[in-house]
Amino acid sequence: MKSFLNHRLAVTGALIILVMSLFALLGPVFSPYQPDDIDVGNNLMPPSSEHLCGTDQLGRDLLTRMAWGGRVSLKVGFIAVGISVFIGVLFGALAGYYGGRIDSLIMRFVDIMLCFPSFFLILAVVAVLEPNIYVIMAVIGITGWMGISRLIRAEILSLKTRDFVLAARAGGVSDFRIITRHLIPNASGPVIVSATLGVAAAVLLESSLSFLGLGVQPPTPSWGNILTEAKASLGVAWWMTVFPGLAIFITVLGYNLLGEGLRDIMLRRR
């Protein structure tokens, strides 16, 4: 914690994430509007004291829709990364601990998965399935575990020959307990860094899919589909693209700063 608080990059990223998370969680609570409140008489109103970020083509308050969209984007980011971390840690731990044929089989499967560009693989899956928030979370998670698997495998390969693991084996501790209680906790450092950076990538990917119409579908707001709706009014309503774009940029920047800061702290501690 002392190293973290003394690292400006990590603290800056954490503060940005805290602010954006509070905006997404508390914004809808304090907003006098609902994300689907239509007021055609006030459509495409510029930012004012009544509507701090202006309104869209249907007169809906843009700030409220951005707060609700932040909930969706962050939910997708966390759950998708949770899925990818679970799969990656599972396969990486098995490959690193048992080695031999199990290691070769899992790593060849990882290599095959890495041959496919992730974005186009996700596009293909989403095009076949009905696009909604649950499909997006599952697809992003299932296609993003390979890097974590390689990280955890490399860590466990170096850890499984340490004295504390050999002592656990000599004491008759089961493989399951050695992996879950001794190896994975000691190999979790790089995984935490990768997961932090993965949230930023997942938020950006969800926004890209929603912008293309293959992600979260209206009327549910997300930062990506708010930008899609803004295309029709790009020349007359600058606020409809600037504010959602800034929300995506600031959120991704915060997670990247935090991830890079954590990586730097862990490298120094080694």
The CATH class for the domain spanning 2-269 reads mainly alpha
pLDDT of residue 149: 93
What's the CA gap between 206 and 225, in Å, rounded? 10
**CA trace torsion 261, 264, 269, 270 (10° rounding):** 150
Residue 231: which of 248, 211, 246 has the closest Cα? 211
| pTM score, whole prediction | 0.86
pLDDT of residue 269: 67
What's the CA gap between 10 and 249, in Å, rounded? 17
Which sequence spans correspond to the domains of the chain? 2-269
CA angle centred on 224, ends 129 and 20, rounded to 5°:
120
What's the CA gap between 135 and 139, in Å, rounded? 6
Neighbouring CB atoms inside 10 A of 177's CB total: 11
What's the CA gap between 201 and 197, in Å, rounded? 7
pLDDT tens for the 270 residues of the chain, in order = 888 888 888 999 999 999 999 999 988 888 888 888 888 888 888 898 888 898 888 889 999 999 999 998 888 889 999 999 999 999 999 999 998 899 999 999 999 888 877 777 777 877 787 777 888 888 888 888 999 999 999 999 988 888 888 898 888 889 899 999 889 998 888 899 899 999 999 999 888 888 888 887 878 888 988 898 888 887 788 898 999 999 999 999 999 999 999 888 887 766
Residues in contact with 148: Cβ distance below 8 Å, sequence separation at least 6, in sequence order: 84, 85, 87, 88, 89, 92, 191, 194, 195, 198
Cα dist. 211→21, 55, 78, 104 in Å? 22, 19, 20, 39
